[in-house]
A and B are shown apart, each in its own frame.
Chain A
Amino acid sequence: MANLELILLVVLLSGVLAYLGGKIHRVIGTIITIFVSGFAFVSIAYFGFNDILDTSNGFLPLITFDVTYLGLYFGIIVTFIFFMVSFFNPYFIDKYKYPAVYSMLYLFSLAGVIGVFFTNNFMTLFFFFELVVWSSLFLIPLGKCKHAASWYYGFSAFGSFALLFAILIMSVNNNGSFEIASSLLAVDGGNRILVFILVMVAAFAKLGAFPLHIWLPKVLTNAPDPVTSVFSGGLEKLGAFMAVVGLIKILPSGFVIDVLDMHLSHYFIALLGALSIVFGTLMAIRQDDAKKLLAYSSMSNGGYILVALAIASDTSFSGALYHVLAHALASTAAFLAIGAVKRQTGTSKMSELGGVIHKMPITYLVYLIAIISMAGIPPMGGFISKWLIFQSVINEGLIIIAIATFFGSIGSFLYVFRPLAALFLGQEIPEIKNIIKEAPLVMQIPLITLSLLNIFTGVYPRDILLFINKVAVELGINPLEVSTWYVKGNNGYLNPALISGIFGVGVFVSYIIFIVLKKSKKVTLMDTYTAGNFVYTEELLHYSVDFYAPLERLYEKYIDIMKNFYNSLANKVKEFGNFVKYFFFTNKPEVTVFWIIVVILYLLWGEIV
C-alpha cells in the first residue's frame, strides 16, 4: 500500500530539503530531485497498476484523494516525464542563477501535478493547478528570456480563473460542495454550456492550443532545456486532462449537427484543434531554432489531442489518450536530445550546427526515433495514435478537419527532419568539430529509456490500450477491441508488430547495402565551389538556411496576427489605466470635487425620476 497523501507530502517536503541541499552544494539538490521524482513515479505506477493506492488522508486538512483510471493514466505519464527529465538537472544546474530554488520548484511542480490528477475535490484541484502555475513559472526565467514568464502567467491565469469560475458555478449548483463527481452532474442547461466553455478555455490555455498558444513557443524556446522538456512532455498534459473533463465528462447537451451526428460545441473544439494543427505546422516549418521548431510541433500535437477528444468515439478516444503518451515520450526525448546538443555546443540554432552525429551518435539516434514517432511513422508510438485518430476523423466524415490533420502530418515530415538533417547530419561545422563529445552517461539514461519506450509503444501497444480501455469504460465510452497482436480500427485491423517486423527487415537490408557499397567521401564544409566563385560566408551554404523559403513566402505576412492581437489587448489595458490616471489623478483637487458632485447629482437626479 502506498498512501497518496504521503507521496505528496514526501515530494513537497523534499522540495524544501532539495532547497537546503542545494544551498550546501548545487548538485545535491538536483540529485534529490532525481530520487524523489523516481520515488513518486515508481510508487504511483506500481501501486496504481495494482489498484492499491491508498486515498485516506490523515495529515492534510481539506485535501481528499481519489484514484480514477483517468487520473492514474495521466499521473503515471507525467511523473515519469518528471523522473526522466530530472536526470538532466545536475548537468544544467550550474547555468542557473538560483540553483537551490530550481530544485525546490521542480519538486513543487511535481507535487502540484500529482495533486491535480488524484483529487476528488475541485477546490483542491484548483489549489494544485495554481501551485503548478507559480512553481513552474519561476523556472522559466532561469533561462535566457525574462518576459516569457509573464506571458505564461497571463495565459495560465486566464485559463485557471476561467476554470475557477466554472468550479464556482458548479459548486453553487451543488449546494456549495466541491466534490468533482457530484459537481459535474449538478449543472445542466445553459450553465452546463457555460461550464463547458470555461473548462475548455482552461484546457486550451494549458495545452497551448490556438487561440491561446502565444505563450507556448516563447516558454519552450526560452526556458532552460530540462524545464522545456517538462513543459512539453508533462505540464502541457494538464491541458489534455482538462480537455477530457470538458469534452467527455461535462458534454453539454447543446445543438447537435445532424449531418455529422456531432455536438456543435464539439465540432467547434475540433475545428480549433484543427487550426492549432495547421498553425503549429506552418510556424514550425519556418523556425531556425530547433527548440522553437519543436515548440510549435507541440502546439500542433496538442491540436491532434483536441480533435480526437472532440470526436469522442471509441477509436478517437483511445487515439487521443495514446497520443498523450506517445507525444509525451517523443517530445520529451526530442527536447532532451536537443538540450544535450545545446549543452555540448552552446546553441540550438540549426544554421550554426552540423554534423553533430559524428560526435554524438546516441543523441542522434534518440532524436531520430523521437521524430519518427512525432511524424507518425511506424514502428513508433506516434503511428498507432495517429492511425487511430485518422481513422476516426474519416469515419465521422469530418472533411475539413481531416484535411487539417493530414496537412499536419505531412507538414511534420517537412519540419521534424530538418533539425535531423541540418543539425545532426551534414558536414561538421569547423567551430564545433573539436570541442564536442557525446552526452555524459547519466544523461543518456533518460534518452535511451525514452527511445526504447518510443519503440515499445509502437510495436506492442496492447497493454497500454487495455489500460486506456479501462479509462474509456470509466468515462462511459466503448472500449477498443484489442487482442494480443491486433488493434481493431473503424475499417480494418492493425498489426503493429508485423509492421515493425517489416520495417526492421527494411532497415536490415539497407544496412547491408550501406556496408557493401562504397564508403562516402568526407569533405569539409568549405570543400566546394559555386560556379567558379569563392565562398566567403559559409553560413549561406548551410542547406538549412531558407530551406522552405518559397512555402514560407506564402504566409509570412500573417504570422504575427495573434501576437499583435494580444499585444494590443495589453496596450488597451494600459491605455485604460492611463486614461483613468489622466482624468482622476490630477494635481488639482477641484477635479475630484467635480466627480464628487457628479456622483451626488446622479443620486438626486435619480430621486426626481
Chain B
Amino acid sequence: MSVVLVISIPLLAAFLSILSKKIAPYLLLAVSLGIIGLLSFDVINLQTVTIGGFAAPYGINLILDGYSYVGIYVVNILFFLISVVTYRKYSKMASILLVALAGLNGLLLTGDLFNLFVFIEISGIAAYLITTTNKQTVATFNYLVLGTVGSSLYLFGLIILYAMFGTLNMSDLSTVIAASGANSMEVALPFLLMFIGLGVEAKLLPFNSWVKGILSSSNTLSGPMIASVYATAIGLMFGRLLTTVFVVSDQLMMIISAVVVFSILAGEAMAYASTKLREILLFSSIAQAAIVVLLFALGFEWFGLVLAIVNGFSKLVLFLVVNRIVDETNTDEIDSLRGIFSLNKLVGVAFTATALSVIGLPLFVGFVVKMNVLTSLMLNDYLVFVIVILISSVVEGVYFIKMIVKLWFDSGEVRVIKFDLVTKYIVLVIAIFIVVFGIYFDPLKELLSTYVDFVIGGIL
C-alpha cells in the first residue's frame, strides 16, 4: 500500500470526526493504532511515492526509507500512547490531534522543502490548538507568534534557495548545489534562516522562549505531546535536513555549534536554578534537544536517531507522571511534593529509572547511548563538545538526583495520586524497556539497524 495513507487517513478522519463529537475520540484511537498496525505488519513497503504522477523534481514526493520508517513508527507509537491516556479527558481535541498526526507524519515523510513548510504549518497550528488546553492564552499566543516567525524565516530561506537553484526537492537540491560548484559561503544565509526557523520548533536556545510558557503550565495532553511527540518528530526532521540538504560552511557551523553549546549549558543551568518539576524537565529537555541537533549537524545520524528516540520515550514517562501529579495536587513545586513517591511506588520506580537513564547511569539505556555518543565524538576529535556534554552532565545529575531524593525520601504531606491503569502500564512498560535495553542493548541495535543502514561507528 502507498505511504500516502499514513498522511491521508488521519486527515480524512479529522474531517469525519467533526461530524460526530462522540465518535471522534474513538476514531482518533482507531486511526493511530491502525497506522501502527499498517507499519508493523509490513503492509507499507519502503518506497518513494510521487504525488499525482509528476516526476520527482517537479512533483512532490514522499520518501519512506529506513530513517523515516523508524521515525514515523516511533512518533506514531508515542502519539498513540498519549492518546490512550488522554482521549477521554480531552475528547474535544480529537479532531485537532488527528490533524496533528497527519502533519507530523508528513514532516517525517516529505522529500520536498516547500511541502515540508506546509506540514510544519499544519502540525504547528495543531500544536497551538493543543496548547490552548493549558488555559494560558498569553503563552499560547506567544507560541503562535514565534512559531509563525520561525516558519516565515524557514520560508524565506527556502525562497532564496529556490531563486538560486530552481528546485525544492531535497535530494535534487543537494545534487544541484554540488554540481553548481556554489561556494558554501554563498548558501550560508538561506541555510541559516532555515536553521533558525526550525530551531524555533526544535527548542534551540535563543529562539525558544515559547517553551517556558507552554511546558511550565502543561497538562497530561499538551506536556507529553509537545515534549515527546513533537520534539521527536521535529528532531528527526531536522536531522534529515541537516544531513542530506544543508551545506554547512565553517561560519554556519560556528553559529550552529555556538547555539547548541549555549543551549546545552544554559538549559542545564536553568534546570538547576528551577524548583518546579515541570520547569526542570522542560529546561533539561532543551539541553537534550540541543544534543540531538548537534549529533545531526556533525553527521552522526545513527546516534542522533537513537538519542532522539530514547529521549522521546523518556520524556513521555517523565511528563506523563509529572503532569498527572500536578493534576491531582495543583502544584509542581518540589518542596510541596516531598515524599510523594513513597505512596506511589510503581510509578515512582518508573520515573526514577527513566530519570537515571536520562542522566546516563549504567544499567539503563541512557548510559549505552551516552557512552557511544561521547566515544564517537571523541574519536572524531570533537573535544569541545565532549567537555561541554560532560560538564552539563554533572549539573544535570545533581538536579535530577536532588529531585528524586526529595520525591522519595523526604517526608512531607504525602497523598496517594490516582494514576489510572493505562498510565501506570505505559510508564512501567517503557521503564522496563529502558532497563532491559540498558542491560542488553544488542536487540535494539539490530532492530534499528535492519531499517537504518547508516554507517555505524563506535562501540554500539
Q: List A residues at the B interface (Cβ < 8 Å).
A: 61-62, 97-98, 123, 126-128, 130-131, 133-134, 137-138, 141-142, 146-147, 149-150, 153-154, 157-158, 161, 164-165, 168-169, 171-172, 176, 178, 570, 573-578, 580-581, 584-589, 591-593, 595-596, 598-600, 602-604, 606-607
Closest to A581 in B: B270
> Known interface pairs A131-B362, A146-B409, A164-B374. Does A574 touch B269 (Cβ–Cβ under 8 Å)?
yes
Q: Which residues of B contact A153 (CB under 8 A)?
A: 397-398, 401
In the assembled complex, B196 has its CB within 8 A of some CB on chain A: yes
Least distance between B443 CB and chain A CB atoms (Å): 11
* 23 pairs of residues in contact across A and B, judged by CB atoms under 8 Å: A61-B440, A97-B409, A133-B361, A147-B402, A154-B394, A157-B397, A164-B374, A168-B374, A168-B378, A570-B272, A573-B273, A574-B273, A578-B273, A584-B205, A585-B270, A587-B138, A587-B139, A592-B200, A592-B206, A595-B207, A600-B189, A607-B185, A607-B188
In the assembled complex, B248 has its CB within 8 A of some CB on chain A: no
Least distance between A608 CB and chain B CB atoms (Å): 11
> Known interface pairs A131-B362, A577-B274, A602-B255. Does A586 touch B207 (Cβ–Cβ under 8 Å)?
no
Q: Which of B270, B362, B406 has the most CB of A within 10 A?
A: B362
> Known interface pairs A168-B386, A573-B272. Does A157 touch B393 (Cβ–Cβ under 8 Å)?
yes
Q: Which residues of A contact B38 (CB under 8 A)?
A: none
> Known interface pairs A161-B393, A596-B149. Does A584 touch B209 (Cβ–Cβ under 8 Å)?
yes
**Cα distance, A598 to B371, chains bound together (Å):** 35
**Cα distance, A147 to B405, chains bound together (Å):** 8
**Cα distance, A126 to B363, chains bound together (Å):** 12
Q: Which residues of A contact B208 (CB under 8 A)?
A: 584, 592
B207 touching A596 by the CB < 8 A rule?
Answer: yes
Contact of B212 among A134, A585, A591, A602 (CB under 8 A): A585
> Known interface pairs A154-B398, A157-B394. Does A142 touch B209 (Cβ–Cβ under 8 Å)?
no
In the assembled complex, B142 has its CB within 8 A of some CB on chain A: yes
Q: List B residues at the A interface (Cβ < 8 Å).
A: 138-139, 142, 145-146, 149, 153, 185, 188-189, 192-193, 196, 200, 205-213, 251-252, 255, 259, 265-266, 269-274, 283, 342, 356, 361-363, 367, 371, 374-375, 378-379, 381, 386-387, 390-391, 393-395, 397-398, 401-402, 405-406, 408-410, 440, 442, 459
Closest to B363 in A: A131
A176 touching B379 by the CB < 8 A rule?
Answer: yes
Least distance between A526 CB and chain B CB atoms (Å): 38
> Known interface pairs A599-B196, A603-B251. Does A586 touch B395 (Cβ–Cβ under 8 Å)?
no
Q: How many residue pairs between the two chains, A and B, have CB atoms under 8 Å in the bound complex?
A: 167
B362 touching A127 by the CB < 8 A rule?
Answer: yes
Q: Which residues of B contact A578 (CB under 8 A)?
A: 270, 273
Contact of A592 among B139, B207, B390 (CB under 8 A): B207
Q: Which residues of A contact B210 (CB under 8 A)?
A: 589, 592
A141 touching B409 by the CB < 8 A rule?
Answer: yes
**Cα distance, A169 to B374, chains bound together (Å):** 11
Closest to B459 in A: A123
**Cα distance, A593 to B367, chains bound together (Å):** 37
> Known interface pairs A165-B387, A593-B149. Does A97 touch B272 (Cβ–Cβ under 8 Å)?
no
Q: Which residues of B contact A154 (CB under 8 A)?
A: 394, 397-398
> Known interface pairs A137-B401, A161-B393. Does A589 touch B142 (Cβ–Cβ under 8 Å)?
yes
**Cα distance, A394 to B394, chains bound together (Å):** 40
B361 touching A164 by the CB < 8 A rule?
Answer: no
Contact of A146 among B185, B374, B405 (CB under 8 A): B405
Closest to A165 in B: B390
Closest to B149 in A: A593
Least distance between B406 CB and chain A CB atoms (Å): 7
**Cα distance, A158 to B394, chains bound together (Å):** 6
A592 touching B266 by the CB < 8 A rule?
Answer: no
Q: Which residues of A contact B266 (CB under 8 A)?
A: 576-577, 580, 584
Least distance between B275 CB and chain A CB atoms (Å): 10
Q: Which of A154, A580, A588 has the most CB of B within 10 A?
A: A580
Q: Which residues of A contact B138 (CB under 8 A)?
A: 587
